[in-house]
Amino acid sequence: MKTPYNHPLPLCRSEMEARGWDQCDVILVTGDAYVDHPSFGAPLIGRWLESHGYRVGLIAAPDPNDVEAFRVLGPPRLFWGVTAGNLDSQLARLTVMRKRRRDDPYLPEGQGDLRPPNATIVYVTKVRQAFKSQISNLKSQIPVIIGGIEASLRRFPYYDYWTDSVKRSILFDSKADLLVYGMGETAIAEVARRLDHQEPLSGIPGTAEIRSLKLEIPNLKSFEDVSTNKDAFALMTREILLNAASDKPVTLIQPHGDRLLVVHPPAPPLAPALLDELYSLPFTRRPHPVYGKAKIAAYDMIKDSITTHRGCYGSCAFCAIATHQGKTIVSRSRDNILAEIRTLASTPDFHGTVSDLGGPTANMYGTRCKRQGAHCQRPSCLAPEICPTLETDAGPQLDLLRAARKLPRVNHVFVTSGIRFDLALAQEPRGVIEELAQHHVCGRLKIAPEHIAENVLRLMGKPTATAYRQFVRRFKEASAQAGKPQQIVEYFISGHPGCTLADMIELALYLKRENIQAEQVQDFYPAPLTLAAAMFHTGKDPMTGKPVYVARTDNEKAMQRALLLFHDPKFHRKAREALRAAGREDLIGRGAKCLVPEEKGDGRG
């Protein structure tokens, strides 16, 4: 008999007892606060398991220095599920310049000291310690399954930016029993079923496991090779990414010392009907009452948002979405999404605005490949140009948007998750840009050109600068026609592999010429298991083998960032340093063609 959902998952023994439970089947440990909303990973998995009839408890943001925090629910009957949370724990704590962040948006009041570094490893260790005295032998040990974004991107050996070294799969360093990668619902439900029926966990799609060296034939270079040889690391990355993009992926096997890492092919993405079922589970859509009136910034940002689909076939070199979610777009049905909006609109604190109706890239909703089932190994369906077999029809998205804004109590439906502008241009015959400008932009539209130099864009896997300029022109025309003086907010990256000081000067001159003051600036971070991380580490493009320039020192990274923020006096000193290093002193001065003024009255950069 399935558990009724009239309250959140239990966080303590009293909440278990209120449900009549003496033990949980599964206990999930997460680095985030418990917000019972489908945008938070651990509650999503918890509700999914609960819908399959399992008793699920949650330990949210436990104190890593207090083993008692891991004993509050007792031991689970089947397994522990451990995740660092929605964020990579190191990136949650530190900026790319290795400065401590002041707050963590996924924790109450932004408490920046609750999530430990390498949280996945720390939590597994604490779970083991918490119940070590109750275990008489290893065979009776309760399995620990790791997952979430931190584990998913570290399932293979990975370049670790913080230590400037290659580390082995997190499965070995955490000493977990199994790793679930990707979105995880299919794999974790199969894990629960097998443990419930006392069946072995080996061979589940969407998981990684450790096996004896004698049992399999490796098809990847060993950890020892890839950790000491950059060419071997680049080749490994290429094989992993091409296999992940293939419609017929194989199991990848890699020696780690005297054992083998075995990474099974990805679990098939949830079918649209199952995705509808997942998002129809009765989440309370609010933080657990234990937090009282404490602010959780990430919740405030997404509480009135609706996810329309999963996946991204853009496969930008620096982005981990395709590596984690996959490149296949799976869209929820129109009726299911509208039903969720009606539920949201019926809540007492809804004020008439759906803050975002989108996904990883909003205008990929309803699009698909025309040749489903045909062999394909393209990592990106959009770069270097849009694949001719991609069905780009914007009809499903336009139909959804038009229906959503007609619902009772809904005054505005915005698209704030960002769009892919080269795809929007291809969808132009259906009037996507006009529809967005007229109805679905809250004064500011987010796009991510990332750069303007074509050689950098090519390495990023981004659209050309020509496409970017064409989109900006079309959106401004559409906004003028709608009578709305709307702005475009552009995201730019500094320090990406392949980007030199000369490239950043080219971008800075473009911004000055177009009178754009960059607001959304990202220092490049080599996220594990991304193509750009391999470029950063090896100095090569793994897909072509060609050398790639890399800005490695903190000083050059700071100079590139300063060129992007040349309009801010705080960065004038560092921008001048960058211009002199590039031999462009002509851009220092008071003239109209200059980027930064001379040193008199200089601010600190």
* Token pair 């918490």 in the structure block, residue: 130
Does residue 141 carry a pLDDT above 50? Answer: yes
Residue-by-residue DSSP string for 83-143: E--SS-HHHHHB-TT-PBPS--TTSGGG-TTSSPTTHHHHHHHHHHHHTGGG-SSGGGPPP
Say yes or no: do domains 13-204 and 304-433 share a fold. Answer: no
Nearest C-alpha neighbor of 18 from the set 27, 28, 8, 26: 8
CATH code linked to domain 304-433: 3.30.750.210
Q: Categorize the per-residue pLDDT at 226 as very low, low, confident or very high, splitting at 50, 70 and 90.
A: very high
When pLDDT is cut at 50, 70 and 90, the band that residue 138 belongs to is: very low
pLDDT at 377: 77
Q: What is the mean pLDDT of residues 345-350?
A: 92
The chain-wide mean pLDDT, for the chain, equals: 93
CB 424 within 8 A of CB 458: no
- How many angstroms separate the CA atoms of 106 and 595, rounded? 38
287-323 pLDDT per residue, tens: 999 999 999 999 999 999 999 999 999 989 999 988 8
Instruction: Extract the tokens encoding 310.
Output: 């999963």
Q: What is the pLDDT of residue 590?
A: 86
Mean pLDDT of 535-553: 97
Q: How far apart are CA 142 and CA 79, in angstroms?
A: 6
- The pLDDT of residue 603: 47
pLDDT digits 0-9 by tens, 374-393: 567 788 899 889 999 999 99
- Residue found by looking up tokens 């462009």 in the block: 584
pLDDT in tens, 156-169: 999 999 999 999 99
| pLDDT for residue 604 | 45
Instruction: Tell whether the torsion through CA atoms of 380, 381, 383 and 388 is positive or negative.
Output: positive
Task: With cut-offs at 50, 70 and 90, classify the pLDDT of residue 216.
Answer: confident
Q: How confident is the model at residue 85 (pLDDT cuts 50, 70, 90)?
A: very high
Q: What pLDDT band is residue 117 in, cutting at 50, 70 and 90?
A: very high
CB 13 within 8 A of CB 31: no
For residues 41-54, give the mean pLDDT. Answer: 97
Q: How far is CA 123 from CA 117, 144, 290, in A?
A: 10, 10, 21
pLDDT of 605 strictly over 60: no
Cα(first)–Cα(last) distance of the chain, in Å? 63
pLDDT in tens, 405-430: 999 999 999 999 888 999 999 998 87
Domain positions in the chain:
13-204, 304-433, 443-605
User: In 10 A of CB 145, how many CB atoms?
Assistant: 27
User: What pLDDT, on the 0 to 100 scale, is given for residue 596?
Assistant: 94
**What is the pLDDT, as a whole number, of residue 5?**
43
Q: CA-to-CA distance for 391 and 399, rounded, in angstroms?
A: 16
| Overall fold of domain 13-204 | Rossmann fold (3.40.50)
| CATH architecture for the domain at 443-605 | 2-Layer Sandwich (3.30)
Tokens 């489908």 found at:
38
Which pLDDT score is estimated for 378? Answer: 83
CB atoms within 10 A of CB 472: 18
**pLDDT at res. 29:** 98
Sequence-distant (6+) residues with CB within 8 A of 70 are: 29, 59, 62, 123, 126, 127, 129, 130
Six-digit token string for 567: 């309009």
pLDDT for the residue 418: 84
What is the separation of C-alpha 544 from the centre of its chain, rounded to a whole number of angstroms?
26
Element (H, E) at 422: helix 421-426
266 or 137, greater pLDDT = 266
pLDDT for the residue numbered 106: 96
Q: Which contiguous run of DSSP H or E holds residue 391?
A: strand 390-391
pLDDT bracket for residue 109 (50, 70, 90): very high
> Which of 59, 58, 62, 60 is CA-nearest to residue 49?
58
Per-residue confidence (pLDDT) for residue 136, from 0 to 100: 39
**Is residue 546 scored above 70 in pLDDT?**
yes
